[in-house]
Amino acid sequence: MSKTNPSFLNGVPELLVLQLLARREMYGYEIVRAIQEETKDAFAFGEGCIYPYLHHLQAEGWVSSRRQAVEGRSRNYYTLLPAGRQRLEDLTREWRRVAAGIGLVLEGGHA
Protein backbone atom coordinates (compact mmCIF):
# COMPACT_ATOMS: atom_id res chain seq x y z
CA MET A 1 0.00 0.00 0.00
CA SER A 2 1.34 3.41 -0.93
CA LYS A 3 1.53 6.34 1.46
CA THR A 4 -1.50 8.57 1.39
CA ASN A 5 -1.23 12.04 -0.07
CA PRO A 6 -1.12 14.33 2.99
CA SER A 7 -2.25 17.51 1.27
CA PHE A 8 -5.16 15.77 -0.46
CA LEU A 9 -6.29 14.36 2.84
CA ASN A 10 -6.17 17.60 4.79
CA GLY A 11 -8.78 17.42 7.52
CA VAL A 12 -9.48 13.71 7.03
CA PRO A 13 -7.55 12.46 10.08
CA GLU A 14 -9.34 15.07 12.15
CA LEU A 15 -12.71 13.90 10.84
CA LEU A 16 -11.92 10.25 11.54
CA VAL A 17 -10.59 10.88 15.04
CA LEU A 18 -13.54 13.08 16.02
CA GLN A 19 -15.99 10.56 14.62
CA LEU A 20 -14.44 7.73 16.61
CA LEU A 21 -14.35 9.78 19.78
CA ALA A 22 -18.00 10.68 19.28
CA ARG A 23 -18.82 7.06 20.03
CA ARG A 24 -16.79 6.69 23.22
CA GLU A 25 -13.62 7.86 24.89
CA MET A 26 -10.53 6.13 23.56
CA TYR A 27 -6.76 6.22 23.92
CA GLY A 28 -4.32 6.66 21.04
CA TYR A 29 -3.57 3.04 20.29
CA GLU A 30 -7.28 2.23 20.29
CA ILE A 31 -7.99 5.05 17.86
CA VAL A 32 -5.30 3.85 15.42
CA ARG A 33 -6.57 0.28 15.59
CA ALA A 34 -10.15 1.45 15.02
CA ILE A 35 -9.14 3.53 11.99
CA GLN A 36 -7.26 0.63 10.46
CA GLU A 37 -10.04 -1.86 11.10
CA GLU A 38 -12.95 0.30 10.04
CA THR A 39 -11.24 1.66 6.94
CA LYS A 40 -9.85 -1.79 6.14
CA ASP A 41 -6.35 -0.38 6.07
CA ALA A 42 -7.25 2.30 3.53
CA PHE A 43 -4.80 4.66 5.17
CA ALA A 44 -1.18 3.89 5.85
CA PHE A 45 0.55 6.23 8.21
CA GLY A 46 3.10 6.26 10.99
CA GLU A 47 0.95 5.46 13.97
CA GLY A 48 2.85 7.87 16.19
CA CYS A 49 1.48 10.84 14.24
CA ILE A 50 -1.94 10.33 15.87
CA TYR A 51 -0.67 12.00 19.04
CA PRO A 52 0.23 15.38 17.55
CA TYR A 53 -3.28 15.39 16.04
CA LEU A 54 -4.85 14.54 19.37
CA HIS A 55 -2.90 17.29 21.14
CA HIS A 56 -3.90 19.73 18.44
CA LEU A 57 -7.56 18.81 18.90
CA GLN A 58 -7.11 19.23 22.63
CA ALA A 59 -5.47 22.64 22.20
CA GLU A 60 -8.43 23.71 20.07
CA GLY A 61 -10.79 22.73 22.86
CA TRP A 62 -12.47 19.97 20.84
CA VAL A 63 -11.37 17.06 23.00
CA SER A 64 -10.19 16.62 26.56
CA SER A 65 -7.91 14.00 28.02
CA ARG A 66 -7.48 12.22 31.30
CA ARG A 67 -4.90 9.70 32.38
CA GLN A 68 -6.23 6.48 33.83
CA ALA A 69 -4.58 3.25 34.99
CA VAL A 70 -5.89 0.19 33.15
CA GLU A 71 -4.53 -3.31 33.69
CA GLY A 72 -1.30 -2.03 35.13
CA ARG A 73 -0.79 0.45 32.25
CA SER A 74 -1.36 4.16 32.36
CA ARG A 75 -3.53 5.30 29.44
CA ASN A 76 -4.36 8.76 28.22
CA TYR A 77 -8.04 8.70 27.32
CA TYR A 78 -9.52 11.33 25.00
CA THR A 79 -13.14 12.49 25.17
CA LEU A 80 -15.08 14.58 22.64
CA LEU A 81 -16.24 17.94 23.97
CA PRO A 82 -19.35 19.84 22.80
CA ALA A 83 -17.19 22.16 20.66
CA GLY A 84 -15.64 19.08 19.10
CA ARG A 85 -19.08 17.71 18.32
CA GLN A 86 -19.93 20.91 16.50
CA ARG A 87 -16.62 20.70 14.65
CA LEU A 88 -17.41 17.11 13.71
CA GLU A 89 -20.75 18.16 12.28
CA ASP A 90 -19.09 20.90 10.23
CA LEU A 91 -16.40 18.57 8.92
CA THR A 92 -18.93 15.85 8.12
CA ARG A 93 -21.11 18.25 6.20
CA GLU A 94 -18.08 19.55 4.30
CA TRP A 95 -16.84 16.07 3.53
CA ARG A 96 -20.23 14.98 2.24
CA ARG A 97 -20.39 18.04 0.03
CA VAL A 98 -16.93 17.30 -1.42
CA ALA A 99 -17.65 13.60 -1.79
CA ALA A 100 -20.93 14.36 -3.58
CA GLY A 101 -19.06 16.67 -5.93
CA ILE A 102 -16.45 14.04 -6.66
CA GLY A 103 -19.22 11.49 -7.14
CA LEU A 104 -20.86 13.68 -9.73
CA VAL A 105 -17.57 13.96 -11.63
CA LEU A 106 -17.01 10.24 -11.51
CA GLU A 107 -20.54 9.47 -12.67
CA GLY A 108 -20.19 11.98 -15.47
CA GLY A 109 -16.98 10.31 -16.61
CA HIS A 110 -18.70 6.94 -16.90
CA ALA A 111 -21.75 8.29 -18.70
Residue numbers at the binding site for another protein (CB under 8 A): 6-7, 9-11, 13-14, 28-29, 32, 45-52, 55-56, 59, 72-76
Closer residue to another protein in complex, CB, 37/107 = 37
Cβ contacts of 28 within 8 Å, gap of 6 or more: 50, 51, 54, 76, 78
Least distance between another protein and beta carbon 28 (Å): 6
Distance CA 4, CA 38 (A): 17
Q: How many CB atoms lie within 10 A of CB 10?
A: 9
Closer residue to another protein in complex, CB, 48/82 = 48
Closer residue to another protein in complex, CB, 46/109 = 46
Least distance between another protein and beta carbon 109 (Å): 27
Least distance between another protein and beta carbon 105 (Å): 22
